[in-house]
Amino acid sequence: MKQKTIFFDIDGTLLTTRNGRPFQIPQSTLFALDALKRAGHRVAICSGRQEPFIRRFFPGIFGSFVAMNGAHVVFEGHTVYDSSFSQARLRALAEHFDAFGCRYIFVGKHHGWAHRVPAPLYAPLNAAYGLPDFLREYQRPEEVDAGSMDFYFADEDEFQRQKDAFRGEMVLNRHPGTLTADLSFPGHNKAKGIGRLLAYAGIPKEDTVAFGDGYNDVSMMGAVGCGVAMGNAVEEVKRAADYVTAEIFDDGILKAVRHLGLIE
């Protein structure tokens, strides 16, 4: 079979919280990733997560990735795209979301700058990021080197009061079972990131596959030759996908790559 480049979302696709334990990866998924590589395919990440997280939880597996919802793109170790907000953009975003009373985090590759997020939440949020000492307090744009944004809501009522802040072409990806979310922008989303990687590497769209489950994966489904929704995906992803597989801990990845004939 001709080599395929296969993009995987992380949270809810490759790993999830199970039985109260975060960052659990099904053994069948690890088997599938290894089998895909042995079959000559290229596996890549397409996620809101940062490069240090990818390196920590998937050591030696992924050399190509679209990280931070498209703000950081690497192909086989070569940086294709690396974008940070300008200070003017940071100020404009802060002014916009402050007007709605939002609690937000400017997310960089190695640190996040939190605004209006209570200090006692830093430790559990650092644990959720999977990166020790990740959060810092946002004070001035000059201190920030970030290319994406995350949000925290005190409760569902707070989200309902603030949801009008996420208007236009912004896509807010709520994280199931939590009060957190990440945000994609028109110029920085998963589809744009995949497009930049494919253009750089000269990979035809028809030779690509993508797996996802969340709202920020909808654009990704249309950026590849075959979009696969996890069984636990939101309905919007399932409608956009070419194929819907089983849930993450029902061997969804392994079943799909076998169904698609990518491995035996």
Written as one string, the DSSP assignment of 116-185 is S--GGGHHHHHHHHTSTT-EEE---GGG---SEEEEE-SSHHHHHHHGGGS-TT-EEEEPTTSSEEEEE-
Strands 171-174 and 180-184: antiparallel
Interval 191-238: pLDDT, tens: 999 999 999 999 999 999 999 999 999 999 999 999 999 999 999 999
State whether 19 and 61 are in the same domain. Answer: yes
Residue 11: pLDDT over 80: yes
Interval 56-108: pLDDT, tens: 999 999 999 999 999 999 999 999 999 999 999 999 999 999 999 999 999 99
State whether 22 and 144 are in the same domain. Answer: no
Asked if residue 103 belongs to a domain, the reply is yes
Reference 14, options 42, 33, 38; nearest CA is 33
Residue 1: pLDDT over 80: no
Reference 146, options 185, 197, 203, 196; nearest CA is 185
pLDDT value of residue 150: 97
CA 255 – CA 184 distance, rounded (Å): 29
Q: Report the predicted TM-score, pTM, of the whole model to 2 decimal places.
A: 0.96
CA 51 – CA 236 distance, rounded (Å): 27
Which of 184, 200, 223 lies at the terminal end of a domain, its last residue? Answer: 184
- Copy the structure tokens of residue 140: 């001035």
State whether 74 and 108 are in the same domain. Answer: no
Interval 111-167: pLDDT, tens: 999 999 999 999 999 999 999 899 999 999 999 999 999 999 999 999 999 999 998
State whether 66 and 24 are in the same domain. Answer: yes
* Domain region containing 120: 87-184
Asked if residue 18 belongs to a domain, the reply is yes
In which band, very low, low, confident or very high, does the pLDDT at 190 lie, cut at 50, 70 and 90? very high
pLDDT value of residue 169: 86
State whether 48 and 94 are in the same domain. Answer: no
Asked if residue 215 belongs to a domain, the reply is yes
pLDDT value of residue 168: 86
